[in-house]
């Protein structure tokens, strides 16, 4: 017989991160969409993941690659301007504190020879309290990793 399980109340929150990267927007964009060299180990749901990939095109996937065609799609690219921004729509699965939905925008703004990286992630659903801090921490880690990679690469 089917059972009904009550979920936590639906709530929403937004996580916003802005950081200045000492590199031109074109260099930041190239690194952003090629995660193989800068994505931190352990920033995946599956500890055996081969990595995280971004397909920078409309309908492209932002996904965790487990190999052999297996993995987890975090977002789908629903808006895109090459070199400038990605608009992402996706789901927060139970392993990441869901269920929930997410709309995120990653925006690059040129500031002379530097770039402002701006991330806005809007989430809603019966997401447990405290998960907002975990998601914010994750975005901080990713922004820092991208910044360090791009700036270090520029000094070579």
Split into its structural domains, the chain has a count of 1
7 against 64, higher pLDDT: 64
Examine residue 3 and state whether it is found in any structural domain, yes or no.
Answer: no
The CATH code of the domain that includes 141 is 3.30.530.20
- Residue 117, domain extent: 11-154
- The tens digit of pLDDT for each residue in 120-144 reads 999 999 888 888 899 999 999 999 9
Question: 42 with 142: CB under 8 angstroms?
Answer: no
71, 54 Cβ separation under 8 angstroms: no
| Average pLDDT for 47-67 | 97
Mean pLDDT along residues 67-83: 97
Report if residue 121 sits inside a domain.
yes
Query: Using CA atoms, how far apart are residues 72 and 48, in angstroms rounded to an integer?
Result: 12
Question: Which has more confidence, 108 or 10?
Answer: 108
Over residues 100-116, the mean pLDDT reads: 97
Q: Is residue 138 part of a domain?
A: yes
Distances (CA, A) of 14 to 65, 89, 124, 132, 136: 26, 14, 9, 8, 9
């Amino acid at each position: 017989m089917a059972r009904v399980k009550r979920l936590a109340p639906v709530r929403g929150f937004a996580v916003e991160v802005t950081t200045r990267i000492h590199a031109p927007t074109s260099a930041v964009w190239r690194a952003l969409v090629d995660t193989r060299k800068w994505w931190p180990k352990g920033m995946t749901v599956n500890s055996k993941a081969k990595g995280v990939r971004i397909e920078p095109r409309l309908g492209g996937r932002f996904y965790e690659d487990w190999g052999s065609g297996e993995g987890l799609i975090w977002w789908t690219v629903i808006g895109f301007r090459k070199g400038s921004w990605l608009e992402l729509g996706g789901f927060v699965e139970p392993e990441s504190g869901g269920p929930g939905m997410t709309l995120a925008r990653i925006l690059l703004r040129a500031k002379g020879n530097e770039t402002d990286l701006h991330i806005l992630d809007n989430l809603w659903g019966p997401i447990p309290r405290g998960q907002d801090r975990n998601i914010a921490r994750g975005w901080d880690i990713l922004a820092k990793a991208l910044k360090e990679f791009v700036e270090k690469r520029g000094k070579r």
